[in-house]
Chains A and B, each alone.
Chain A
Amino acid sequence: MLPLVLEQVSFVAGGKLIVDRVSMEIVEGPRTVILGPNGAGKSVLMRLCHGLLAPTSGTIAWRGAVNGRLRQAMVFQRPVMLRRSAVANIAYGLKLNGVSPRERELRARDVLEAVGLAGIADRPARVLSGGEQQRLALARAWALGPEVLFLDEPTANLDPRASRDIETLIGQIRAGGTKIVMTTHNLGQAKRLGDEILFLNEGRLVERTSVDRFFTQPASAEAEAFIRGELPWN
């Protein structure tokens, strides 16, 4: 279904320009990291890509989509768990995607096993820890077998250990052949998990380059300032 092509995409909310004429292409292969300071429009850009928001102007198209079916999923900064067991949360996503009841259960248990949550499969999802909930959210998205997985600041609310677990899991999902597109404002994470960087500032796509180039020779003054300003906190 890739490439995902954005042409002159803008998004206005409440009279404020949040995404400003972004043109870009997300292609198969490299792990794409959308990087930028808070308020740069990263999350909104991702929601536009995923289809949760419609652009105010411009076009977004999946150029490789086969008969309109899009196999894409998204994991949010704050996972939203349904008031039911962990395994039922995964089965719910599968149900919406037309998987038969028997297969739902099997696949849900399998994916829980794969993310290391088999032991808590039958516990109510909303009482799990933040790290477990985020892993469960990833499992729920992964179970759908997406070609593209959008991750919006997946570790922003987690402690270092839980963050590391999530990063490992993202690597696992990627190894299974899923294209990863994620936002972050954390430079260390961008380095660890990214192949290419889309640098966003004040709603504009300032730079698109490989991770190595971005950190050694950023092309824009904004990117340079961002890297300098952030590095001590890394």
Chain B
Amino acid sequence: MCYALDYVLKSITYPMNEILAAVAEAGRMIAQFDAAVVDIVLLSLRVSLTAVLFASLIGLPLGAVIAVGWFPGRRVSIVLLNALMGLPPVVVGLFVYLMLSRAGPLGQFGILFTPAAMIVAQTILIAPIVAALSRQVIEDAWQEYREQLCSLGAGPARSALTLLWDTRFSLVTIVLAGFGRAAAEVGAVIIVGGNIDGVTRVMTTAIALETSKGDLPLALGLGIILITLVLTLNAAAYWVKESAQRRYG
């Protein structure tokens, strides 16, 4: 309630020319590689790229195993994974917070309010996305390849590896979707990171904070960078997939 009211009051108090001035200032900060902006962007990239790396290490093999394997509970795990794709970031944040807090089961590591905690939270958030989406892609390929691979003598493990490699162009897109989700979420990182200036402040948490403080140029500048980043990545993913499939069929 208070936040909403706050926001309404601020938007009333900013006249149009002031917003335009903020946009111009944001442009200047980006163009001049403003030190505060650069630090925040680099930390964002470090956290989200590391998280997407771990999420892929977990999610891709998991997706392949569920796609190829036939074990009890397979259907349940598919439904579960699909449901986990929609995990609310704040709930993941809360869960990781409880795990890592001093009294929690993993409290001894003392990583709460560090980038490591943020990486853990984002990994938990996007590993199910990578697993569920890659499961779908790999299972579709498995329908096509199954008899041929069995005929050549491939067991389940070999089949899973072969399919991971053969669907690589589609999987790149999935991994980048995971990165987009990680880079864009606020809820998890703000809870476990704490948005500490120079330590755990990333683009999304900075935008949330600066907006509520009224520092529009920094918030806008980071917003522009975030959107540009996500757009560029998706364009790159699309291009990689298209050109690779034209080349490899």
Using a CB–CB cutoff of 8 Å, the interface residues on chain A facing chain B are 47, 50, 52, 73-74, 76, 79-84, 92-93, 96-97, 124-127, 140, 144
Contact = CB atoms under 8 A, between A and B. Distances in A.
B45 to A, nearest CB: 30
B249 A124 contact: yes
> Chain A: interface secondary structure?
mixed
B14 interface: no
Interface stretch (B70-78, B101-109, B148-156): B148-156
Interface string B132-169: 00000000000011011011111000100010011010
Interface residues of B, number: 17
B3 interface: no
B213 to A, nearest CB: 51
9 contacts: A52-B150, A73-B152, A79-B148, A80-B145, A80-B147, A82-B162, A82-B166, A83-B165, A83-B166
A96 B153 contact: yes
A47 B147 contact: yes
Contacts of A47: 147
A79 B168 CA distance: 20
Contact of A97 (B144, B153, B165, B247): B153
Contacts of A125: 249
Interface of B: 144-145, 147-148, 150-154, 158, 162, 165-166, 168, 247-249
A144 B151 CA distance: 11
Contacts of A73: 151-152
Given A80-B145, A82-B166, A50 B247 contact: no
A3 B105 CA distance: 64
> Which 9 pairs show the lowest CB-CB distances between chains A and B?
A126-B249, A80-B148, A127-B249, A124-B248, A83-B166, A96-B153, A74-B151, A93-B152, A83-B248
Contact of B247 (A81, A96, A124): A124
Contacts of A79: 148
B249 A96 contact: no
A50 B148 CA distance: 12
Interface-central residue, A47, A73, A79, A82, by most chain B CB under 10 Å: A82
A76 B166 CA distance: 19
B159 to A, nearest CB: 10
Nearest to B248: A124
Contacts of B249: 81, 83, 124-127
A76 B154 CA distance: 16
Contact of A76 (B148, B162, B165): B148
B150 A92 contact: no
B162 to A, nearest CB: 7
A80 B153 contact: no
B195 to A, nearest CB: 44
